[in-house]
Structure 1
Amino acid sequence: MKNAFLSRNSKYMLLLAMFSFSSLVAQSFQKTALGIKTKIQALDVEVQFYSPTIVRVLKSPEGVAFKKESLSVTKKPESTKFTMQQNGDIVSLKSDKMKVDLDLKSGKMSFNTLAGASLLNEAASGASFTDFNDAGSKTYSINQNFELDKDEAIYGLGQQQRGQLSLRNAKINMVQGNVDDYVPFLVSTKGYGLFWDNYSPTVFEDKPEVTSFKSEVGDCIDYYFMIGGNIDGAIAGMRELTGQAPMFPLWTFGYWQSKERYKSQDELVGVVSKYRELGVPLDGIIQDWQYWGNNYLWNAMEFLNTEFPNPKKMVDDIHNMNAHVIISIWNSFGPQTKQFREMQPKGMLLNFGTWPQSGLETWPPNRDYPSGVQPYDPYNPEARNIYWKYLSKGLFSVGIDGWWIDSSEPDHMDFKPSDFDIPTYLGSFRKVRNAFPLMAVGGVSEHQRAESSDKRIFILTRSAFAGQQRYGANTWSGDVNSSWQSLRNQIPAGLNFSMSAIPYWNTDIGGFFAGAYKKGWGDGTKNPSFQELYVRWMQFGAFTPMMRSHGTDIPREIYNFGKKGETIYDAIAKTIDLRYSLLPYIYSASWDITKNQSTMMRALVMDFDDKKVVNMNNEYLFGKSILVAPVVHAQYTPETIVKSNEETGWNKNEDTDVAKIQAATFGQAKSTKVYLPEGTSWFDFWTNEAFKGGQEITKATTIDEIPLYIKSGSIIPFGPKVQYATEKKWDNLEIRIYPGADGEFTLYEDENDNYNYEKGAYSTIIFKWNNKTQTLTIGKRSGSFNGMLKNRTFNIVLVTKEKGTGIPTGKNYDKIVDYDGKQKNIRL
C-alpha cells in the first residue's frame, strides 16, 4: 500500500515537474509588437518583423545593453500581422508571406515559406561573441553561421575582382579597397536575401558544412532576412529596407569621355569641340584631379591651377555645345586648403596614410616632402556640412553638373593596425570602416538635394556600401588593369555588384593602367594589342549603365585612334552610335529600376531556370531583352599578360617586357562561343537569325560588332541618330518586335532632368505583342509632363532576316502608326 502511494506520488511529482517546465518554457519568451524577445544560452535574442517579407534578427550577450542605429537601413518597422505558435521547443512566427522558427533550446533559427519549404537555416554552431578591446572600448568580435543547401547558388557581396560569379566555396575578406567594393548583402537562387548589418572588417566564408559572417567589431549580431520569391524580389526587399534608387538624368546614359587628366581649360573644352566637329556623339566630359594646383592644395575644390583661369566660362562653353561636365573631388584635403584648416582644429580629420603620399609630383613619391593630405570624417554631420559648403561655393556655383568622388573607400596606404584605432564621430575607424563610402557619398547627395531640385544628383564614385543606391550614385570598378583578364573580371564584378541591390555600375573602358602598351608604340594608340582590347572593352561598356572611357598613359579620345574610314575608329564610332540608338530602351529600363526595383545588368540566373547559367561569368542580360556576350579573349593579337595594381601601376617609368608586335589585320572574321539559355528562342541582333535556347553556338565576329541576342517576345524601341541624348525628340521611334512569344514593354518619358517625376510628371506607354494573333497593342498613354509629345509616329518592324537588323537605318517598316495617346491595335 505504501509502495502504491509512493508510486502515485512519484507520478504526481513528475507531472508537476513537467507542468512547471512547460510553464517555464512557455514564459521563456516575450511577445512584442514586432515579434518576440527571449534569452537563450546566455544571449538576448530578438526577432522583429519589419514587413511581411522582411525579418530582423538581433543577438547580444545577455544583459549587456547596447544602442544600434543602422547607417544603411532607412525603413521603419511597419505594423505587420503575424501569428505565433509553440510546439515543444520551437516557436513559429508567421506573417502572410513567410514562417520563422526559433528553437528556444538551441537558439537556432530557420526561415521558411508558408508552405513549409526551408529557405535558410542557422547552423547548430550558431552565434558567437568574443571579447574585443576596440581602442579602449569593451565590445566583441562576432560570428554567425548558416547552413546553405548543397545545390543553391548565392551572389552579391558587392564587387570583387575574382573572375567568378557564384560565391559558393569563396572566402572574402571584406575591407573596402580601390578595386573591391564590399556590400554585406547576398541573394540566393532560392529567392531570399540576407543583409549582415555591420560596418567593420568582415570575413565571409562559404564551406560545404557552414557559411559564415565574422566581423571584427560588433556590440550585437544584426541581420535581416527577406523573402522575395526570386532574386529580383530579394533585391526589391533590400531596396525597401535601405532606400530606392532615384532616376538619373537622361544625359548620363550617353557617352562619356575622360582621361587622367586634362591639364587645362582649353584642352577640356577642345575635346568636346572636336567630338562635335567629327559628328561623334558625346554627352559628358570629366575633369580629373589637380585643377586645384599642387598636392598641398589637394582637393581645394577651387580652380587654383593657372591653366584653368575662367571656370565659369569653361562650364558655359561645354554647356553651349550641349554637353555636361563632372569633376573630380576627393574625401581628403591637403594641409594648405581651407577645408583642412577648418576641420583639423575640430578633430574632423583621420590621420592615416592616403593618396598622394608626397607634396611633389614625382614618382616614386618623395617621402622627404610628405603631402600631409588626410581624409576627413564623413561620419560627422558637421564635417559633411563643411565639405558641402566649400563644394557648393567653389564648384556647384559655377554650374558643374555632377561629382566624380574619387577614393571614396578611401585610399589607405602604409596601413598600420593602429590606424583602425583612430577615433571618428561614431567610434573607432575599425567600427565603421566599410561604411565610409556610404557616408561620404550620402553627405554630398543629401546636401545637394536640400539646396536644389532643379538638377538631378549624379555622382560617379569608386566605392559603395549597402544603401548607396538611394543617393544617385554610379560606382565604377576602380583603377583596374588594361588586360584581357581584367576585362573578363569586370563582367562578374558588375553582376555581383548589381545583385547587391545597387543597380548603377561602370568601368574604365580600356582599363586604367595601360602604360605597358606604349613601349615602341609612341602614345600606344596605334599598338594593335591595345586597339583590340580597347574596342572590345568599349563594346562591353556600351552595355553597362554608364558608358565611360577613362585611363592613364594612353589617350582615349576617338580621334587618337585614327580617322573615319579606318577600322578601329569606325568600330568605336559604331559602338557609340549603337548606344545612342538604345537610349529609349535604356531610359525605360532605368524607370523600371526606380518604379519596380529592377536591375539593368542582369546575371542570366535572374531570368532563366537553366543550370548552365548558374555560374556563367561572361554573358548577361542588359535590361530584360538583350543578351550581351562580350568578346573577352584576344582574336587578332597576342593576349599580352600585363601585371600591375592600383599602387604599383602608378610606376609610369617602369620598363616592361611587352614585345612590339606586327600590325594586325582587323578585317578578317573570327568566331566565339555563345551560350543561349533555355526556355526561350533568340534572335541574332545583327542578322535576325533565330536560335532555340539551351544550346551553345559558334558566332562569327568582326572587330566592329559584339555578339548580341534578343529574346523572343521582346519589344525594343530605337531612338534617332543624335550627337547628344536630348538633341531630338522621340517623335519618330522605330519599334521592333521579335516574334515567337508574347511580349510587353513600357516606354517611359519625362522632363529628362529635375525631380518633377516624383510628383507624377512623366508618361508611360505600354506596348503588348500577342504572338498568336500577330497583333501589337499600343496602349493608352498614361500621365503627362511639360513638353510631352501629344502626337508622334511609331515605325513598326516585325523582325525577319530582311528587316530590323543591326542599328536602325530608317527603312523597311511594316507599319507606320500615327499615335495621339489613344490605344491602337496593329495587326502584322
Structure 2
Amino acid sequence: MQTFVKVADGVILQTTKGQMKVQVCNTRIIRVVYTLNDDFSSKESLMVVQRDFAPVLWNLEETDQFIEIATEELHLKINKETCAFTYFDRQGKLLMKEPDGGGKHLIPTEVSKTVFAQDTVIKSETSADGVKVRAEDAGTVLDRIAYHWKLEFEWDKNEALYGLGSYEEGIFNYRNHHQYLYQQNMRVVVPCLVSTKGYGLLFDSYSFMTFHDDVYGSYIWSDVNDELDYYFIYGPEFDGIVSGYRYLTGQVPMFPRWAFGYIQSKERYTNQAELISIVQEYRERKIPLDVIVLDWMSWEGNYWGQKSLDPERFPDPEQMMEELHRLNARLMVSIWPNMQNDGPDLLEMKEKGFLLGNQSTYDAFNEEARKLYWKQAHEGLFSKGIDAWWCDCTEPFENDWRGEVKPEPEQRIWLNVGEAKKYIDPQYINAYSLLHSQGIYDGQRATTESKRVVNLTRSGYAGQQRYATITWSGDITAKWDTLKKQIADGLNFCVTGIPYWTLDIGGFFVSKREHAWFWDGDFDAGCEDLGYRELYLRWFQYGTFLPIFRSHGTDTPREVWRFGERGTVFYDTLVKFDYLRYRLIPYIYSLAWQVSSRAYTIMRALPFDFRHDEKTYDIGDQYMFGPAFLVNPVTEPMYYQSGSRRLEGVEKVREVYLPAGTSWYDFWTGEQYQGGQTIKASAGLETMPLYVKAGSIVPMGPKIQYTSEKEDPIELRIYPGADARFELYFDEGDNYNYEKGQYQLITISWDDRKRKLHFSKPTGKGYTGMPEERTFRVLIVAQNHGIGIEETPRVDKVVVYKGQTLTCDF
C-alpha cells in the first residue's frame, strides 16, 4: 500500500498494483472493489439493486502495520504492506482471513467477440433437450482487455462452507472440494458462499468461475471482469447472512397460495381434452391438486418456441382455461428462449434485430427484446387466461448433451462455456436467466396486479429471487443415488438466499437409452416396475417437504393412479403424503410470508438452526422445513430392486441425527427424544422419518382438494418443552394487495412454563373475504396424541378467535 484516503463511506487504497475501495455498506456488510484501472467501474450491477447505502457510523484507525475499519458489528484489519484483509466480529473473534501475502489478484486477459457474417453457416439439431441452433465457423475479433481475478483464503480447519448454487454432484460441505461455476442443464450458478463461522461472500461477477479448496489451493477464480467486486456479509446466523444478501439483491415477492399445492406435470400432455381429463380424474378420485402443466410442443406445427397454442389441439384456449378454473386448477405453460422454422414470433424478433448470433435465441440482455418477448407471451398465452410460466432451457447454449459417454468435467467446460461465449459477451454468460426472468416479471406486473407472477425456470443467478422465480434442478435421472444427491444440491441452492427450489419428483429420465449418456435411468419398465414405484414414492415423500411440490419427467406417466390403485400401498401412501402437504398449507403459506417480509428460508440446511453443533456440518440428507420439521428422506431401496426384484433382509430403518440443544417429537407417534444423538428411525414404505422440534407451533388445515377450498378450522398442534411462537398469515391468495397491507397476521405464542397459549390482535388491514372469526382446535402433543396426518377427533381446547387478544390456560 502506498497511500489511503478516507471518504464518506469507506477508504480508498492506492497500491503498487492498482487501487482498492473498501465501502462500509452497513454495520454488517462491507464491499471490496479492486481495479488496475484509473477509475472504478461505473457500470450498473445486474445482481445488486441496493447501491445507495444510508450513512453508518464507523471508525478508522492506523497503526504501523495495519489500517483498521470498525463498525458496531464488524472489524476489518488491512495489512499495509500486503493489503491482506482479515475480518473479525466485534468481540475480536476471527471470521475470515486472506493469506498474509495478499490473496487478491487481477490478471489482464484479451476478450474476443464473435463476428457473424452473412454467409455464416447456421446448423440445427433436435436433442432430448429440444432444438439447438448453432453458428458454425464464425470468426472472432479482439474486443477489449479485461481481467481474470482470483481471491485466496485461509479457512479454519473446522469451518464448513455451503452455497454456490445447485449442481449434480451432491456436494454438501464444500471443504476439500472444487466446483466449476457455469450454467447448464443440471447446473445452476449462484456466486454466493456461506460459512459456519458466521459470514457470507457475494461475488458481483457473471462470467465462468471456479471454486477450489483442494490441492490447488483455497480460492475463487473468475474469468472475465472489469474489476474484482465482492461483498462480505456478517450474520452471524445463516438467516442474518441471507437477510444481508436480499438487502443487496432484492426481496422475494409472494407466490399465490395455489403455487404451494401439488403440481402435476409430465413430458407431455398433448391437447386440451387431455389436460382437462387429468384434472377431472384427480377431482373424481379426491386426490389434492392445484396445477396442471403443459410441456413443450404446444405450438402449431414445427414453429419451435412459438408462444401460442396449436389451434387444432387447443381449439378454444379461453374455454379450456374457464373449465380448468371451474375445476379449481391452474395451468402452467412451457415457453422457450429459442425459436426456429420462421414462426411468427421468430420472424418478428428477426425483423427487429433482437436475435443473438445463432438467429434463434432472443437477446435477453436487450430491454426492448425482453419487452417484445413478453408482448408475444401475453398475446399468445397470458391473454387466454394461463396462470404460470415454465421458462425452460434458460441456459440456452449447452453443447455436450450428445454421445454415449459423458464428457470429462474439463471437456464440459470447454464445450459449454465456449458455446455460450460465442453468442454472449464472455463477461455475462452466467446471467442470461436473470435477465430473461426480469422480462417475464416486469411484463406481467405491468399488465395486471390481480395475478401473481409464477415462473418455473431451469437456471438462476444471484438476484433472480426478486423476479418471482422457482428454479428446478434440471433433467436428472431416476436413480437412488440421484435422489440422495439432490437433497444436498437443493440445500446449497437455498442457502445462497434464493428460497424457491424444486426438482422432477421421480427423476426426468427413467429408462436407459444407448448413445445418450444423460438418458441413464435404472427402470426401463417405468411405473410398472415395483422398484421404480418404491423410488418414486420415496421421492414423493421428500417432495412433500420441498418449497414447491412438483412431479415431472419422461418415459413413464406420473399421475398418482399410475402407481397402483386404491387399497395398494403405493397408491395409498402417495395420496397420504399429498394430503399431508395440503394439511400443512397454513404452515407453508405463513412461511412464504416470512420469506417475503423477513428474508426467511423454508428449506434449511441444518447449520441454519444448529450452527454451533458441528455434527450437523456434513449432514447433507437431513434438513429443517421451516422452524418445526426435521425432514429425513429415505434414499436407499428397502423392498425392490429394478425389474421388480424383491429385496430380502433389509432393515426398514434409516439413521437420523437429532441436533443438540433441543428435544424432538416423532411426528407419527408423539414419542419424545433428546437431541444430540443418532437414532435408528422406523422407515417403512408408508412413512418417512419426520421429527418436530420441541417449542414448535404447527397450524394444520382441514383435508382439502385444492388450496383455496377452505381454511377453517385450524388444528393447532403445540409441541411443548420450550416456549414457541408462530405468525399465522392469511390474504386473498392471488393478487398484490398484500403489498398495500391487505392481509391478516396473527401471532400465536406458547409459554411453556405457565402452559399458556396467547393469540395477539392481528396486524394488517384485513382483506376482501376475510372471515369474522376463526376456529382453532388446539392440541398439546404427547405420545399418541396430536400425531400423523389425520385430523385429531378429540382436542384439548376449541378456541374461537374473533380478532381480539386471547389467552388460554392448559
**TM norm structure 1:** 0.88
State how far apart, in whole Å, the 2-side matches of 1:217 and 1:343 are: 29
The match for 2:558 among 556, 569, 573 is: 556
Q: Equivalences for 1:367-516 in 2 at 5 Å?
A: 374-413=360-399, 415=415, 419-422=419-422, 424=424, 428=425, 430-516=426-512
State how far apart, in whole Å, the 1-side matches of 2:418 and 2:467 are: 32
1:18 corresponds to which residue? none
State how far apart, in whole Å, the 1-side matches of 2:349 and 2:762 are: 53
Structure 1 378/62 Cα, relative in aligned 2: closer, same or farther at 3 Å?
A: closer
Secondary structure in structure 2 of the residue aligned to 1:383:
helix
Secondary structure in structure 1 of the residue aligned to 2:241:
helix
The alignment status of 1:51 with 2:26, answered yes or no, reads yes
Q: Which amino acid aligns with 1:731?
A: D
Contact 1:148 1:210 in 2 (8 A): no
Q: Which amino acid aligns with 2:623?
A: Y
The match for 2:664 among 664, 682, 690 is: 682
* CA apart distance, 1:610: 1.5
* CA apart distance, 1:88: 1.7
Structure 1 521/235 Cα, relative in aligned 2: closer, same or farther at 3 Å?
A: closer
State how far apart, in whole Å, the 2-side matches of 1:298 and 1:323 are: 27
Structure 1 665/271 Cα, relative in aligned 2: closer, same or farther at 3 Å?
A: farther
Deviation string 1:686-742 (CA, Å, 9 cap, x unpaired) is: 0001111111111222212111001011111110111100101x2311101111111
1:40 corresponds to which residue? 15
* CA apart distance, 1:107: 1.5
State how far apart, in whole Å, the 2-side matches of 1:682 and 1:164 are: 27
* CA apart distance, 1:810: 3.8
2:268 corresponds to which residue? 261
Secondary structure in structure 1 of the residue aligned to 2:292:
strand
State how far apart, in whole Å, the 2-side matches of 1:532 and 1:431 are: 45
Q: Which amino acid aligns with 1:340?
A: L
* CA apart distance, 1:80: 2.1
Q: Which amino acid aligns with 2:702?
A: P
* CA apart distance, 1:344: 2.8
1:68 corresponds to which residue? 43
The alignment status of 1:637 with 2:655, answered yes or no, reads no
Contact 2:505 2:543 in 1 (8 A): yes
State how far apart, in whole Å, the 2-side matches of 1:418 and 1:254 are: 40
The match for 1:815 among 784, 794, 797 is: 797
State how far apart, in whole Å, the 2-side matches of 1:476 and 1:465 are: 13
State how far apart, in whole Å, the 2-side matches of 1:464 and 1:522 are: 32
Secondary structure in structure 2 of the residue aligned to 1:535:
helix
Structure 1 212/521 Cα, relative in aligned 2: closer, same or farther at 3 Å?
A: closer
Secondary structure in structure 2 of the residue aligned to 1:148:
coil
Contact 2:510 2:524 in 1 (8 A): no
Q: Which amino acid aligns with 1:701?
A: A
* More off after superposition, 464-473 vs 139-148: 139-148
The match for 2:110 among 117, 125, 133 is: 133
1:787 corresponds to which residue? 769
The alignment status of 1:222 with 2:226, answered yes or no, reads no
2:57 corresponds to which residue? 81
* CA apart distance, 1:491: 0.5
* More off after superposition, 402-411 vs 543-552: 402-411
State how far apart, in whole Å, the 2-side matches of 1:314 and 1:525 are: 29
Structure 1 616/780 Cα, relative in aligned 2: closer, same or farther at 3 Å?
A: same
* CA apart distance, 1:788: 1.6
The match for 1:754 among 730, 735, 748 is: 735
Structure 1 112/746 Cα, relative in aligned 2: closer, same or farther at 3 Å?
A: same
State how far apart, in whole Å, the 1-side matches of 2:584 and 2:316 are: 36
Secondary structure in structure 1 of the residue aligned to 2:607:
helix
Q: Equivalences for 1:247-326 in 2 at 5 Å?
A: 247-295=254-302, 297-304=303-310, 306-326=312-332
Contact 1:339 1:386 in 2 (8 A): no
Deviation string 1:595-618 (CA, Å, 9 cap, x unpaired) is: 111110111111112121101011
Contact 2:357 2:423 in 1 (8 A): no
1:327 corresponds to which residue? 333
**Aligned length, in residue pairs:** 756
1:15 corresponds to which residue? none
The alignment status of 1:624 with 2:627, answered yes or no, reads yes
State how far apart, in whole Å, the 1-side matches of 2:549 and 2:26 are: 37
State how far apart, in whole Å, the 2-side matches of 1:487 and 1:306 are: 39
Deviation string 1:327-346 (CA, Å, 9 cap, x unpaired) is: 00111111412232233355
The match for 1:738 among 719, 722, 725 is: 719
1:646 corresponds to which residue? none
* CA apart distance, 1:392: 0.7
* CA apart distance, 1:631: 0.6
Structure 1 593/522 Cα, relative in aligned 2: closer, same or farther at 3 Å?
A: closer
Deviation string 1:547-600 (CA, Å, 9 cap, x unpaired) is: 111100010001212221111110110010000000000011111111111110
Secondary structure in structure 2 of the residue aligned to 1:485:
helix
Secondary structure in structure 1 of the residue aligned to 2:580:
helix
Q: Equivalences for 1:721-736 in 2 at 5 Å?
A: 721-728=703-710, 730-736=711-717
The alignment status of 1:672 with 2:654, answered yes or no, reads yes
2:132 corresponds to which residue? none
2:603 corresponds to which residue? 601
Deviation string 1:752-807 (CA, Å, 9 cap, x unpaired) is: 11111111111111111111122111222222222222212111111122311101
**Higher CA-based Rg:** 1
State how far apart, in whole Å, the 2-side matches of 1:238 and 1:68 are: 20
Q: Which amino acid aligns with 1:131?
A: P
State how far apart, in whole Å, the 1-side matches of 2:356 and 2:50 are: 30
State how far apart, in whole Å, the 2-side matches of 1:305 and 1:166 are: 50
Deviation string 1:21-55 (CA, Å, 9 cap, x unpaired) is: xxx96xx1112121111211221111112222211
Contact 1:629 1:706 in 2 (8 A): yes
Q: Which amino acid aligns with 1:402?
A: A
Deviation string 1:146-173 (CA, Å, 9 cap, x unpaired) is: 2211211111101122222101111111
State how far apart, in whole Å, the 2-side matches of 1:77 and 1:48 are: 11
Secondary structure in structure 1 of the residue aligned to 2:153:
strand
* More off after superposition, 252-261 vs 52-61: 52-61
Secondary structure in structure 2 of the residue aligned to 1:58:
strand
Q: Which amino acid aligns with 1:148?
A: W
* CA apart distance, 1:246: 1.2
* CA apart distance, 1:104: 2.9
Secondary structure in structure 1 of the residue aligned to 2:357:
coil
Contact 2:340 2:346 in 1 (8 A): yes
Contact 2:398 2:416 in 1 (8 A): no
Q: Which amino acid aligns with 1:459?
A: N
* CA apart distance, 1:210: 4.6
Contact 1:528 1:664 in 2 (8 A): no
Q: Which amino acid aligns with 2:371?
A: N
Deviation string 1:199-252 (CA, Å, 9 cap, x unpaired) is: 011111124895211111011000011111211111110000000111111000
Deviation string 1:393-413 (CA, Å, 9 cap, x unpaired) is: 101100110100001122422
Secondary structure in structure 2 of the residue aligned to 1:515:
coil
Contact 2:265 2:550 in 1 (8 A): yes
Q: Which amino acid aligns with 1:580?
A: Y
Q: Which amino acid aligns with 1:604?
A: L
Q: Which amino acid aligns with 1:342?
A: E
The alignment status of 1:806 with 2:782, answered yes or no, reads no
**TM norm structure 2:** 0.90
1:765 corresponds to which residue? 746
State how far apart, in whole Å, the 1-side matches of 2:477 and 2:690 are: 26
Secondary structure in structure 2 of the residue aligned to 1:817:
strand
1:364 corresponds to which residue? none
Q: Which amino acid aligns with 1:397?
A: S
State how far apart, in whole Å, the 2-side matches of 1:240 and 1:477 are: 25
Q: Which amino acid aligns with 2:94?
A: S
Deviation string 1:425-462 (CA, Å, 9 cap, x unpaired) is: xxx2x110011111111111111112211111111111
Contact 1:140 1:217 in 2 (8 A): yes
* Matched-pair identity in %: 40
Q: Which amino acid aligns with 2:304?
A: W
* CA apart distance, 1:827: 1.4
Structure 1 748/208 Cα, relative in aligned 2: closer, same or farther at 3 Å?
A: farther
State how far apart, in whole Å, the 2-side matches of 1:265 and 1:572 are: 26
